[in-house]
Copies of this chain bind each other. A is one copy, B any other.
């Protein structure tokens, strides 16, 4: 291990973070804490800076039960302090003129470049599959930031992709333009989690120059 990996707090956290299924049921997250976590999530990058991510935070006991049922009974949903339904806006490019205007006014982006981006994004995301893929990508990037941000704050998380999207939509009044990409349970840990984190090795997943059978 290089010196940098041994001592850098970011690299240390990346390695130590684990998904948990054991939350402390006695400790909530405050609205302020939730808002700070979401603000961190918005620091993720996204294509054209569209920021496809939207979040519905589920925190009331009855709502947790509703969400647990939509997540095939996975009990982390009721045990976590909160669960975020991470939604991807499949028509995110519609908000781009407004987003670009801020970039022009505050970020010094030339108006011509901003207009060109808007036209290009409209053309690309007219293809529904491409738009949906992009929403999944952006939301996953944001979710990873949330998992690391939460870990840095001493909280823990568990991401779930196993749930019935339609049931989530119906239960939580989610418009069809938003694709439920992930559920992210968050809260204080029940205790230290020292489970090993078995992973494929670098040689198992990395190829130089050309693809291969991994």
Which of A's residues lie within 8 Å of B, judged by CB?
A: 2, 4-5, 8-11, 13-15, 17, 19, 31-32, 34-36, 38-45, 47, 49, 51, 53-60, 63, 85, 87, 89, 95, 99, 102-103, 106-108, 124, 133-134, 136-138, 140-141, 143-145, 147-149, 151-153, 159, 161-162, 169, 172-175, 178, 181-182, 195-200, 202, 205-214
Partner of A210, one of B133, B172, B196, B197: B172
Alpha-carbon distance between A47 and B162 when the two chains are bound, in angstroms? 8
Is the CB–CB distance between B198 and A106 below 8 Å?
yes
Question: Which residues of chain B are near A159, meaning CB under 8 Å?
Answer: 45, 141
Question: Which residues of chain B are near A54, meaning CB under 8 Å?
Answer: 205-207, 214
Is the CB–CB distance between B211 and A178 below 8 Å?
yes
Partner of A53, one of B42, B95, B205: B205
**Further 10 A-B residue pairs, CB within 8 A, beyond A11-B40, A42-B200:** A8-B152, A14-B148, A45-B159, A51-B199, A103-B198, A107-B196, A136-B137, A141-B144, A172-B210, A173-B212
Question: Which residues of chain B are near A107, meaning CB under 8 Å?
Answer: 195-196, 198
Question: Which residues of chain B are near A60, meaning CB under 8 Å?
Answer: 209
Alpha-carbon distance between A56 and B209 when the two chains are bound, in angstroms? 6
Q: Lowest 7 A-B CB distances belong to which pairs?
A: A140-B140, A144-B144, A174-B211, A10-B152, A141-B144, A102-B198, A9-B9
A70 to chain B, nearest CB (A): 13
Question: Which residues of chain B are near A89, meaning CB under 8 Å?
Answer: 214
